[in-house]
Structure 1
Amino acid sequence: MTPANAQQDGQQVTILRPRTDTLEIACEVRGPEAGPAVILMHGFPDDARAWDVVAAQLATAGCRVYVPYLRGYGATRFLSAETPRSGEQAALGHDLLGLMDALRIPRAILVGYDWGGRAACVVAALWPERVAGLVTGAGYNIQDIAASGQPAAPALEVRFWYQWYFQLERGRAGLTQNRRPLCRQLWEQWSPTWKFDDATFNRTAVSFDNPDFVDVSIHSYRHRYGAAPGDPAVAEIEAGLAKRPTIAVPSITLQGEMDGVTVAEGSAGHARYFTGPYDRRVLANVGHFLPHEAPEPHVRAVLELMGR
């Protein structure tokens, strides 16, 4: 694991490439080595740039901040061509736990949204001894795959057009051929009040050129509806998640009022899944891409969980 260094926002950022049993994970690290560990997990379709402001402010506050690229993004790579390119929730949680092991992080505050929030919830639920606190976007993100065949109201179903598209080989071809315009369409739809510019999108979109981006993405959206098999290597984790485990660690959930994927009311009933200290906060005029749009509430939530 040979580190590389760069300057960002006036801070030194070290690029590590720790290896798990499955991946070589590209991970940006900043802040004092002795600081409390905070891991920031991005979503789909996004990358580590989502956390630039949050990471900089937490590092300034004395935290040791880790920002990995998820499987299928940026410079993160599978170690073997034989490993299934799974995007299922168990694989994401397995990756996060493996990253913590590889970096010898015994315990951390986990922060994430979308896929990253799902990974954080998985680890918080199944390995609570490794989690000092949880900040997650849109509430309890562990999928109820057994109930995934139950239709929602049409007004909600229409928000998931891309998920139905990805069930088809036409959708795989569309994501392959049009990954940047398709992902930009999702950014605009999911965060209608966020007026990002071309430069902001393009800084992230380079991560979608990862050779596994399409396969991992398509598998994620097929597996959650029972349309693709899971990776046998994480079947035990998936079985644990099927029990809808509760989360006992101190948790703060952040919900964008203008989220174009999950309506704000959707996470209002999630308190039953959190058995420890819990607070839900709705962010006005904020959409789905929470850390881009509202970095300060994330920083405040992390520092509160640290007792500051």
Structure 2
Amino acid sequence: MRARALSSRFEPLSTVADDPARSRLGVVRFADTSFNPVLRDGHPELTVHLAPDDRRGFAEIWTSSRGVESGEHKAITYAHDGEYLFCAGRIPPCDEHTYAGRLAFRAALELAGKLGYHHVFRMWNYLQDLNPQTYREFLLGQAEAFAKRPVTWSGLPAATVVGSLGGGIAFHFMACRTGTPVTLISPSGARGVYVHGRLFFTAPSLDDAEELMSAATLAQWGIDDGFGLHDITTLKAYARQPGDLSLARFDCDTRLDRETSVAYLQATLLQEDRAVEFEGIAG
């Protein structure tokens, strides 16, 4: 397994253990309520309403092998280690999604630019009452914010968009200081961003994920690398219905490495023809 300066794992909400060898960049709690991002013990913590109860919730913990500095900027909480920046924010429920999205991302990107992290390579957006119209409105505000700041991003292929159970719009993103992220898109709908020897991907099935991360596909995008399902370190499975979630669980149990950290969430998906969506990291 490759040494990783940036890493993530899933833990139960009740037992988020510290790793003395690594510093926390951020924690995302998937729980039965939502909270504004806060600084807790020197790292950002964002709570997203995506679990019916805390028993079925979990925490995603992002860590770094380097020392971390953290802070707050215009309601955005952040931490960075010299190479990676983790930013988190929340927009309360509102009707002006474009305006609110523009304000929130102006603040976040202003911060990223000042700290020297000029490329956003991965983003997660959790929208209450998700539908194509609200997402388009939010996306317009987001795009307007990027147009006014000296920060680029890998575009829609780099974003996960999921409907939450409440709390307005919660978001967090990762930005890097060096390297050139490469965006990949496959006809199946799988997509990803390759940076620093790792692939951050989203796919409608594990078969599609496997094809996207193969050496043959990566070579088409000028990348001399390749992965298999056994290289996935963390994976989230989102499904519309409990039955679809059970099928996703069976697929993961039978095809992924035992060391892969996997989490499951029932959620609204943006694409109406998609019953399940997988997103994770390989490498």
TM-score, normalised relative to structure 1: 0.30
* Structure with more strand by fraction: 2
* Structure with more helix by fraction: 1
* Higher RCO (CA-CA < 8 Å; seq separation 6+): 1
